[in-house]
């Protein structure tokens, strides 16, 4: 297991969860984090209710990620974290893993 292998490992974990569960929401947290499940459930219910009242598309069908989303982060082209395989200068928006995040079934699909 290596740092560079984490995206692959995470992708396969999400695929497994999607295939083997009927869960509508998933969370990704580090092993040194604590999740208050009742509070998280209340928060998601609040967000779903709010979105359903203001959106014409069902929130359940809308791909949703909740967390510390990073925008316009530059791709390192040299040094320890260089990503020479990615040919763009910035990454698309991505959730910071160290902060933990929640995503729904359409994202896992």
Q: Render pLDDT for 48-105 as a digit per residue (tens, 0 to 9).
A: 888 777 776 666 778 989 999 999 999 999 988 888 888 999 999 999 988 899 999 9
Full-model pTM: 0.81
pLDDT tens profile 34-63: 999 999 999 999 988 887 777 766 667 789
CA-closest candidate to residue 102, choices 31, 16, 41? 41
Task: Note whether 32 and 45 are within 8 A (CB).
Answer: no
């Amino acid at each position: 297991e290596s740092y560079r292998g984490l995206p692959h490992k995470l992708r396969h974990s999400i695929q497994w969860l999607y295939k083997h569960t009927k869960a509508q929401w998933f969370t990704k947290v580090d092993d040194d984090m604590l999740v208050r499940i009742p509070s998280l459930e209340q928060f998601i219910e609040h967000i779903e209710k709010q979105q359903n009242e203001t959106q014409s598309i069902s929130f359940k069908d809308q791909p949703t990620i909740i967390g510390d989303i990073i925008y316009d982060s530059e791709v390192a082209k040299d040094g320890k974290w260089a990503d020479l395989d990615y040919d763009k200068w910035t990454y698309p928006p991505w959730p910071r893993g160290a902060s933990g995040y929640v995503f729904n079934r359409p994202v896992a699909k």
